[in-house]
DNA sequence: ACAAACCATAACCAAACGGTTATGGTTTGT
DNA sequence: ACAAACCATAACCGTTTGGTTATGGTTTGT
């Protein structure tokens, strides 16, 4: 099995700027490269390159609309990392701690 | 909050060789550098350096015993990554998919 | 006592990385 | 029609990274 994508996902999220972009897209939804550039604190080409890396990992999708390109997260792409943690990382006790948090969020 | 360790954890696990070492230690328990070197397919100094990076992220601990050093995983150190996934990654719908897997594994 | 085993560190190297500025292609507004 | 806005790509650059070989310090076995 050993999804070749797992590598891309782990690599993509290793960089803090890339994580910040992903986090921003998660919190505030779809955004243009321009908006992300203002947020990220680096140049526009740098943001474009980061988005390319995130795209390679399928962590984001893009949608062109005229002269602007909107990016949004594709959270399913985190599956390899989640699976990896299920397997090698988290033990049952931790899992259940997380489950409690999840349930708390469901019925506040 | 923003644990500075999260960076180290994400970075450490970005490299496939390092992930392989961590996986090996998780599956087969504590091992010497020599054993890990045979497994990893790179030179012994390379393994030592990888172990240093994993140590920096607190993903492994070492225990000296005579001339050999035994390494073992410290899975708690994965907490920042688990937290991150809880927060930015998986939403509760996905969580339930995972939960099913967890339950399947619990009672086979 | 001595040779061999185990490991970490140093020194070095090519390649990858993350950033920059420059440029060009579309698209939009006037 | 034209200038400006938006984005991607190219070209470039210093630093980091992942690997190597060389070396030296402990520890073990004989």
Distance of CA A66 to the CA centre of its chain: 25
How many C-beta atoms surround the C-beta of residue B2 within 10 A?
7
pLDDT digits (tens, 9 = 90+) for B5-51: 999 999 999 999 999 999 999 999 999 999 999 999 999 999 999 99
Nearest residue by alpha-carbon distance to C1' of D28:
B67
pLDDT digits (tens, 9 = 90+) for A16-29: 999 999 999 999 99
Question: Which of residues 14 to 73 on A have a Cβ less than 7 angstroms from any strand D atom?
Answer: 32-34, 37, 44-45, 47-49, 51-52, 62, 67-70
Q: Which chain A residues have a beta carbon less than 8 Å from that of B108?
A: none
Q: Could you tell me the CA-to-CA distances from A50 to A36, B14, B44 in Å, in that order?
A: 11, 16, 34
β-bridge partners, A60: A73
CA dist B26 and A71 (Å) reads: 37
Confidence (pTM): 0.86
Segments in chain A below pLDDT 50: 92-93, 103, 105-108
Q: Could you tell me the CA-to-CA distances from A101 to A84, A97, B91 in Å, in that order?
A: 20, 7, 11
């Amino acid at each position: 099995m050993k999804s070749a994508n797992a590598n891309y996902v782990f690599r993509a999220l290793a960089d803090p700027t890339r994580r910040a972009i992903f986090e921003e897209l998660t919190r505030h939804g779809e955004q243009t490269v321009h908006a992300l550039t203002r947020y990220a604190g680096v140049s526009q080409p740098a943001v474009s390159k980061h988005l390319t890396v995130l795209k390679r990992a399928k962590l984001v999708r893009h949608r062109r609309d005229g002269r602007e390109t909107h990016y949004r997260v594709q959270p399913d792409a985190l599956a390899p990392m989640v699976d990896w943690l299920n397997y090698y990382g988290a033990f049952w006790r931790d899992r259940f701690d997380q489950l409690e948090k999840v349930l708390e969020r469901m019925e506040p």
